[in-house]
Every structure is written in C-alpha cells, then in structure tokens.
Chain A
Amino acid sequence: MIPAAFTYHAPRSLRDAVRLLRAYEGDARVVSGGMSLIPAMKLRLVQPEHLIDIGRLGELDYVRRTEEGGVAIGAGATYRSIEKSRTVAAVAPMLVETVRQVGDIQVRNRGTLCGSAAHADPAADAPATLLALDATFHTTGGPTRRAIQARRFFVDAYETVLGPTEVLTEIRIPKQPAHTGSTYLKFANKASRFAIVGVAAAVTVDRRGVCSRARIAVTGAGPCAVRATVSERYLTGRQMSEEAIAAAASRASRGMEFIEDVHGSEEYREHLTRVITQRALAEATQRAGA
C-alpha cells in the first residue's frame, strides 16, 4: 500500500518543528513513532501534505522523575523505554502494566505514549491509564503553552483538544497517594489486541478499609476514553468490600456513550464495561493492601 504523496520534514529542534507546523498549518501532521499514523496513511485514511518527524529529537526522548516525585515522559519516549524505566515502575506501576499490553515488541520499540495520546484511537490502551493516573498533558506551539488535565484532553474518536499547530511534548504523571492499588485490565480483540473494553482502576484505601479516592477510566467502549465518575463517587468514602465493588461496577456504564462495530454491539460493550470494571476494582483493591 502506498500513501498519498507528502513532504517529509526532519526538524532539528522542537522549535523548528513548531515553525514548520505553523508554516503548513492545517496541512501537516506530527509523527513520532508512527505506529498508528503510518498505517493510517498507507490506508489513505489520513493524507497530510507535510509530515513533521519529532521522533528523532533527542530533547524529547526522556523519562525522568519530577521534583514533585512524579514522572515526566517526553514525546520521543517509546513504550519500550517506559517498560524499562525504574522511575515509571516506582511511580506508576499501572503504566508499565498497560504498556506491556500494547501491540507487540516491534510496535513498542517505535510507538510512543505521547503519540498514542495525541492520536486518540478509541481502542488504545494508554488513554484509560493516563486518565486514572490524573496525568497532565504539556503542549507547545499554540497561542500559549498549556498544561491540560487528562480528563479535558480527549474529546472524541481521534480528536483531542490539541490545536492545529500544537505539539504534545510531555506527559506528566503525579505521585500517587500512599496505599493506592492500581491495575489496567482489558478484554482484547484476539487478532489486533486492541481493547474492546479496557479499564484502568486506581483506588486508595485507608487503614480502616475505607476508600478515600477512586479513579476508574474506560477505553474501547465509546468514542474516546472517559472516567467512570458515577462508580468513583459511589466508592469514595465507602468501606471496601466485594459488595461495594460489585455495586460500584454495576454503575460503571452510567452516563457513558457506547459504540457499535464489527467487534461488538453497544449492549455487549456496556456489559463488558461493568464486568471488567468489577475485576479491575477487585485487583486494584487487593494491591492497595486492603
């Protein structure tokens, strides 16, 4: 398959990349790992006139601890480098667990976390986990530099709040509260391993067994990853138990929009959302040491 013709640009700095994006506003796409974009270009689902490659910029290739004890992941950092990072394992083990479920070795060697977030595939794994971790998305190239909360970032299928000249340069994950247990579980398509429904859950449980904080996010089920806020509110302040988890999970699909495609109907995805949420909450609670 041959993509539509385009001009490839390999800027030498992020600043150059933004200059190019502004020069070709509306006709350009940013590529980093290209594991989503290049197959889409080959299918001619996407036909940019200009392709701006930030994947080889050393300045964006990092995974490092922040002063606040969280972790900052640059737009050039591959899934593989996240998989290997001790900092990520310490700050956000759920992210390592998630990344290991993305694609295959070859895809993880090139694909990037920031690229996946900016591409916003409805069935991607990372968006759910980033929502549940309260990640912040840092951008440059727009009218101002922005730090966008995860829950405001994803808008629709393949759509985020990023403007046409804006580049997602870094994702920051804050330090999680003590006694937080988390997991990412998915019901995957057997061939592609994309999530039909994936659930990221992080629960903080105090010494008395009361849930003081819950973050639950769902991907694959609808047009974009979302938080299951009704379930979160139900759990918060409640004594954790099998019954409480079941009751919270039964509310997971409330207020959520579902999609229907060859892999499953809306009803099927709604059912899976409740089932996978229950399993994820049970696992996260156990990991919280409760």
Chain B
Amino acid sequence: MRQVTLTVNGRRRTAEVEDRDLLVDLLREKLRLTGTHIGCDTSQCGACTVLLDGAAVKSCSLFAAQAEGAKVTTIEGMAKGDTLHPIQQAFHEEHGLQCGFCTPGMVMLLHEFLRRNPDPTEHEVRAALSGNMCRCTGYQNIVASALHAAQTLRGEG
C-alpha cells in the first residue's frame, strides 16, 4: 500500500491505495465521492471524466498513484452550496439528462471545453462530446445544454 495525497475539490486529501488502484477507485471507494461514475471501465464512455490539474481525463484510465500532488475536480466540486454551476443549471433547464448516469462526465468534459472554446458551434460541441456516451437522450438536449451553458458563462444568459 502507498499513501497518495492530492487536492480534491479544493480540499487536501490523503488515502491509502494499492499501486494498481485507479483514480476512480480512490475517488469512489476511499473518498466516497460517488458522483464520478464507472460506465464501460475501458476508457470509452467518459462517465468517469474528472478534471486533473484542469484537464478533462478519464479517471478509469489513470492510476491513483499518478495523481499524487495533483488538483482533482469532480462533479461534487461544481455547485456552490445550493447554487448549481451554470453547466449543471443548463442541463436542468434544457432537460439534458434522463437517467443521469453519463451526466457527471458530460459536465466535467464541458467544463474544460467551454473554457477553451467559450463560443462553440453546435458541430464543435458534438465533436467535443465524442468521448462521452449517452444511451438515453440521443444527445439533442445535451448539445442544447452545452450551448445554453456557453451563453450563460459568456454572461449573455
């Protein structure tokens, strides 16, 4: 076992992990942050997406030990108290989720993408979401949520 210390949602956390434990295991099993989901477990579906030092990554394809000293943001770090993050609020308003399983990954990916590209076209949103799968919505409302969130984040909301 080894100790891993990292900052999760602004809080310094230390946990004991096996070298083969994945970052998603650390988050879900040790820190009980179960908002990060495991979908395919083969780095295709994107449900486990979190931010690692600001970059969207699939936490099922990264060992916990590799995140030593890093800053991790999960879906639990998005809302401020009862106030949803504008991306979450947009999913709420545009009905961007049905079962909700893929939503945390979608929100985290969009968090990075909209920072890079604050005024994307619909096509760019669809391309950006290519690593995040949704089996309910057909993506229409997810794309609408992303465009709505972009507008809010630009201050045009």
Query: Residues of A with Cβ closer than 8 Å to B?
Result: 1-8, 10, 34-35, 38-39, 42-43, 51, 53, 55-56, 80, 103-107, 109-110, 191-193
Contact = CB atoms under 8 A, between A and B. Distances in A.
Task: Give me the 10 closest cross-chain CB pairs, A-B, nearest first.
Answer: A104-B131, A8-B19, A109-B55, A8-B65, A3-B20, A106-B58, A104-B130, A38-B61, A106-B131, A106-B56
B157 to A, nearest CB: 24
Interface string B43-75: 110100100000111101111011010000000
B62 A5 contact: no
A34 B61 contact: yes
Interface string B18-55: 11100000000000000000000111101001000001
Given A105-B128, A109-B57, A35 B43 contact: yes
B5 to A, nearest CB: 13
Interface residues of B, number: 28
Nearest to A43: B42
Interface string B75-98: 000000000000000000000000
B interface majority secondary structure: mixed
A39 B46 contact: no
A38 B19 contact: no
A103 B62 contact: no
A interface majority secondary structure: loop
Nearest to B131: A104
A109 B41 contact: no
A5 B65 CA distance: 13
Contacts of B62: 34, 38, 110
A110 B60 CA distance: 13
Contact of B20 (A2, A35, A104, A110): A2
A263 to B, nearest CB: 16
A10 B68 contact: yes
25 contacts: A1-B42, A3-B20, A7-B19, A8-B2, A8-B19, A8-B65, A10-B65, A10-B68, A39-B61, A42-B42, A42-B60, A43-B42, A51-B19, A51-B63, A105-B56, A105-B109, A105-B131, A106-B43, A106-B46, A106-B49, A106-B131, A107-B131, A109-B112, A110-B57, A192-B44
